Amino acid sequence: MKVLWFSNTPSNAAAELGALSKGGGWISSLETLVTEATSIELGVAFFYPLEEDKKIVKGSTTYFAIALEEKNALTRIKDRFFLNLPTDTKIFKLLKIIDQFKPDLIHVFGSEEVFGMVAKYVNTPVVLHIQGILTPYLDNWFPRGVSNSSILFRTPLKDSIRGTGLYFDYRTISKMARRERQIFSYCKYYMGRTFWDESVSKLLSPGSFYYHCEEVIRPIFMEKKWKQPETAHPFVISTTINPNIYKGLDIILKTVRLIKEQTDLEFVWNIYGIDKGHQLVRLFENLLKDSFTSYPVVFHGPVNADQLVDRLTKSHVFVHPSHIDNSPNSVCEAMLLGMPVIAANTGGVSSLMKNGSEGVLYPDNDQYLLARNILDIALFPEKAVEMGVKARKRAVSRHEPGKIVEQLESIYTTILEQSRSKTIQHQVS
């Protein structure tokens, strides 16, 4: 079976392209499993900042690096103001790769990029592996009390002139969401992991087929195990957060203020993935008329997997405050470590854990219940340990590599059979 992947990352070809990060993400982990455990012949296509396209053969996998040429400053500004999505002009290159590789099946990772548009032009079955879904994300993009106009008002003049910053990010994402809805109208096969992503895919793509397939988590989170810290003070809270406005940085600021003012809990809240100078930090401090520096909050910026695991295993609880998410890997990773997890009950998160047993879900935007749940974990450490044990048990089963490869192969086979059956029926009729 020949399968062509369209990915947002170079997967296991990162080193050959001189990337600073040599892979290690979940897609590269999945690729390693597929090449080691199956007879599938893989092609992996992706965009990369090159002057010309590049083809790399490594083992049984063929990589297609599609050049995204560097544009001058004026052209980049023009693209942002006029909402030109640079990769939209590359569809012909995607089709050329399909024609060259001649896959039996096409597997697209994510609906955010242009890759899924190939379903409009080819007869080869295309399955879309759902990651996030921009269309419903947009409805929850801005935290309560925030609008894009309020962000524009606070955007530095130089960013407004260059068309950069959060205001222009939202305009671009809105254009990408319109393209995503087109993709959902053409694509009829989907892979996902939650009740939420199944529901959204069936609504945006009526009559489509949905298959459940879990995601591979980086091995280090399987290998390490959380143990409750020996010291209770300070109580260490950890959060991994991407620099997106909907990820809940506002709720963190509201919650630490509440805990500091209304309780005597000695705590520190570590935030990984974003640094203290980021524009989101400044934005929420401005909007909430408060400062993270007034509280025991530490921004650590981006860290690698080894560093993250080391610091998470020294924490008392993991908190995921995002206002919208499907199946955040950060939550799955914390569960694999056996940590107690508190998360906003939004999107597909409730499919990841049983509330009150394997983790704690609180209503989105409710800093009072988030604070209460943090206090409960601090006051009842034995409950935290029990919750972590159950979380790890579920996560280990869910992310078992061999099981995931079997799921993937089975889905590929089923889609090919369905596609051939449809072709035969069409020819007969």
Tell me the pLDDT tens digit for each residue of 104-117: 999 999 999 999 99
CA distance linking residue 142 with residue 146, whole number of Å:
6
Contact between 233 and 314 (Cβ < 8 Å): no
CA distance linking residue 302 with residue 304, whole number of Å:
7
pLDDT of residue 225: 95
Helices (H), 237-318: 249-262, 279-288, 305-312
Let me know how many helices (H) and strands (E) the chain has, helices first.
Answer: 16, 14
pLDDT of residue 424: 57
Judged by phi (left if over 0) then psi (alpha if -120 to 50, else beta), residue 273 lies in left
Contact between 5 and 45 (Cβ < 8 Å): yes
Band (pLDDT 50/70/90 cuts) for residue 118 is: very high
Contact between 64 and 48 (Cβ < 8 Å): no
CATH 3.40.50.2000 in the chain, residues?
Answer: 2-214+401-428, 220-398
- Which amino acid belongs to residue 156? P
Looking only at the bridges linking them, the beta strands covering 41-48 and 267-272 are unpaired
- Find out whether the peptide bond into 156 is cis, omega within 30 degrees of 0: no
Band (pLDDT 50/70/90 cuts) for residue 425 is: low
Over residues 37-46, mean pLDDT: 96
Over residues 328-347, mean pLDDT: 97
Residue 316 scores a pLDDT above 90: yes
Looking only at the bridges linking them, the beta strands covering 126-129 and 189-192 are parallel
Contact between 62 and 53 (Cβ < 8 Å): no
pLDDT of residue 421: 74
pLDDT of residue 145: 85
Residues ≥6 apart with Cβ < 8 Å to 272: 238, 239, 240, 241, 300, 301, 302, 303, 308, 311
Superfamily in which the 2-214+401-428 domain is placed by CATH? Glycogen Phosphorylase B; (3.40.50.2000)
CATH 3.40.50.2000 fits 220-398, yes or no: yes
- Find out whether the peptide bond into 234 is cis, omega within 30 degrees of 0: yes
Contact between 105 and 1 (Cβ < 8 Å): yes
